[in-house]
Amino acid sequence: MSKVPAAVLVGALLIVVAGGLYAYFKGASNPENQQALKGNVIFGITDQAVSLSGIESIKATIDKVQAHQEGDGWLTVSEGPREFNLLDLKARGAIELLAQAQLPEREYNQIRPEISKVLITKANGQTQEAKLPSGDLKLVGKIVVQANKTSSIVVDFLADESLHVTGSGKFIFSPVVKLETRSNASVQVSGKDVAVAGGVVETDVNLGMDENGETKEGFALGAHAKLELMEDVIRIIPDGQSEAGISVSAQAATNIVKEGNHLDKVFSVTLIKVDGKKIWEVSGMKNVGLSNIFVDASTGAVIATE
């Protein structure tokens, strides 16, 4: 795998949950038709990193932001596409307001920004859309919304682990982030910029999106592997593995899975070794769930599913 060099933090998506200050997202009233206590949700985006070598800009388009409470499903707190140049925000040293909405006072367990595209512009002016394993970035953490108090959610994108270059020069952007949530924080909004200070840290965790769009704690895609793109499918060859001596290519294994109707959509194909035998693990969606199909790299036989 070839990574974009010289990277630390590239971008931070800031989500600030505030009580009684700004525009409102109305929730349900109580049985007496009295408004339930609510907290306001303010969303911003920032970049606090040095620029990536050879990269002029990283522009992320966020279409929607949602919050989740166990048992109650998702609440939409922001809708409508907005584009953010992460490196431009870094140069300004700014946290830019993305959206704001009022939510009922309670504890939430996930935030989900929906990223529709990421455009990478190189120093030579060439622009390319990066492959996203999924546009839904589900971030699990404790988010406490209290009436007349302020909480914050800060999502720092770790560029050196998020942005990858394949051998053919294509980009893959698989977000790796540091998630920090605070309750009882101090938040100030000036125009489109946001400043956050103080509060009690409720969540402090690193999360990464895998090749199938799932978000996991402590994960980084391609940390010890070579990545390639086969049209819209991510191919992964872990360090220490090679395609030498196999008869069935990654593309052939993917075709076998598709033609056999084993998966409705293929996300990734990874070369693994089991009991000395090389096997392609083809992952994707079947009905509404994630499934893995194992194809013998020598014979092309489907040997297992899970």
Residue 8 CB neighbour total at 10 angstroms: 13
User: Is residue 4 very low, low, confident or very high in pLDDT (cuts 50, 70, 90)?
Assistant: very low
145 with 277, same domain: the answer is: no
- The Cα 139–Cα 160 span in angstroms is 19
256 with 201, same domain: the answer is: no
CA neighbours closer than 13 Å in the CB half-sphere of residue 287: 1
How does pLDDT run across 209-230, given as a tens digit for each residue?
999 999 999 999 987 899 999 9
- The Cα 194–Cα 175 span in angstroms is 23
- Please provide the DSSP assignment of 64-104 as one string: EEEEEETTTEEEEEEEEEEEEEHHHHHHHT-EEEEEEEEEE
How does pLDDT run across 256-271, given as a tens digit for each residue?
999 999 999 999 999 9
Dihedral sign computed on CA atoms, order 11, 15, 21, 22? positive
215 with 255, same domain: the answer is: no
Structural domain containing residue 298:
226-305
User: Is residue 98 very low, low, confident or very high in pLDDT (cuts 50, 70, 90)?
Assistant: confident
The last residue of a domain, from among 193, 222, 251: 222
DSSP SS3 for 159: helix
CB 227 within 8 A of CB 172: yes
Assign residue 234 the CATH number of its domain: 3.10.450.40
User: Is residue 21 very low, low, confident or very high in pLDDT (cuts 50, 70, 90)?
Assistant: very low
151 with 286, same domain: the answer is: no
- The Cα 202–Cα 181 span in angstroms is 5
For the chain, count helices (H), then strands (E): 3, 23
Token code pair at residue 36: 């339930």
- The Cα 278–Cα 206 span in angstroms is 32
Token code pair at residue 207: 């999360």
Residue 136 CB neighbour total at 10 angstroms: 16
Give the pLDDT confidence score for residue 215 in this predicted structure.
97
The last residue of a domain, from among 180, 206, 222: 222
- The Cα 277–Cα 195 span in angstroms is 55
The last residue of a domain, from among 190, 205, 222: 222
Burial 57-75 (b: 16+ CB within 10 A, else e): bbbbebebbbbbbeeeeeb
21 with 118, same domain: the answer is: yes
pTM: 0.82
